[in-house]
């Protein structure tokens, strides 16, 4: 294992421990703060189709954002592990009637028979989870590369064109600097319970 890989592995472990140590009350408070941050974003206000996720492993919960989207008439989608293409995602609409099943990681996702699916490029906004982030727009995920492969078409695109990508995290997940790889898909920024960090890249 090289030094960079070892650093990322240790950072993932530290950050996952940090967010898992948050109490239920702190998680609820952060979820409420996250909604306040998201509501102020122009990218959110202009979007009609939004992909989110169901929190696990101490991730900041976008559940209040989902409820707010429904109140505004925005369509919500959840990621589903692609059944054929390795390490890629599908997106299936998430309504109050959606049946959820646990995937191979134990994360709840819509049943594949649910419809309609929406291609990644056809989403207005994607609010995605992360393990660590920096103020430059760098994101450290769980290491599976699902989002990087799914949104590889964004490589080389100018910010603001097509699908917008914004990370969600607890503010405590911020680090000074992350080394990015050529395949890392840059974010427009990261929203936390405290504020929106607009990517400098």
Share of the chain above pLDDT 70, in %: 92
* pLDDT for the residue 166: 96
* pLDDT for the residue 121: 93
* Chain segment 20-32, per-residue pLDDT in tens: 999 999 999 999 9
Other C-beta atoms closer than 10 Å to the C-beta of 172 total 17
Asked, as a colleague might, if the bond just before 157 is cis with ω within 30 of 0, I would say: no
* Structural domain of 41: 3-198
Show the tokens assigned to 90. Answer: 């599908």
Query: What's the predicted TM-score (pTM) here?
Result: 0.91
Instruction: Give the pLDDT band of residue 77 (cuts 50, 70, 90).
Output: very high
What is the domain-level CATH number for residue 185? 3.40.50.10420
101 touches 113 (CB < 8 A): no
- Looking at every residue in the chain, the average pLDDT score rounds to 89
Show the tokens assigned to 117. Answer: 């699916």
* Chain segment 117-148, per-residue pLDDT in tens: 889 999 999 999 999 999 887 889 887 788 98
- H or E segment to which residue 76 belongs: strand 75-81
Q: Per this entry, what is the length of the chain? A: 201
CA distances from 156 to 97, 128, 139, 182, 183 (A): 38, 20, 17, 11, 11
What is the mean pLDDT of the segment spanning 88-116?
87
Instruction: Give the pLDDT band of residue 3 (cuts 50, 70, 90).
Output: low
Which residues, other chains included, contact 198 with Cβ-Cβ below 8 Å and sequence gap of 6+?
188, 189
**How many domains, the chain?**
1
């Amino acid at each position: 294992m090289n030094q960079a890989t070892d650093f990322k592995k240790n950072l993932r472990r530290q950050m996952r421990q940090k967010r898992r140590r948050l109490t239920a009350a702190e998680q609820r408070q952060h979820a409420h703060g996250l909604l306040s941050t998201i509501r102020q974003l122009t990218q959110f206000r202009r979007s009609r189709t939004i992909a989110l996720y169901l929190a696990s492993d101490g991730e900041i919960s976008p559940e209040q954002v989902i409820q707010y989207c429904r109140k505004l008439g925005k369509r919500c989608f959840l990621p589903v592990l692609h059944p054929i293409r390795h390490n890629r995602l599908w997106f299936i609409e998430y309504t109050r009637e959606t049946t959820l099943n646990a995937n191979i990681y134990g994360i709840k996702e819509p049943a594949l028979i649910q419809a309609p699916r929406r291609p990644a490029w056809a989403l207005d906004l994607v609010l995605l989870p992360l393990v660590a982030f920096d103020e430059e727009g760098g994101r450290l995920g769980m290491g599976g590369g699902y989002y990087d492969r799914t949104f590889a078409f964004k490589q080389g695109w100018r910010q603001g064109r097509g699908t917008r990508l914004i990370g969600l995290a607890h503010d405590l997940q911020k680090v000074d600097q992350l080394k990015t790889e050529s395949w890392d898909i840059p974010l427009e920024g990261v929203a936390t319970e405290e504020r929106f960090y607009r990517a400098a890249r």
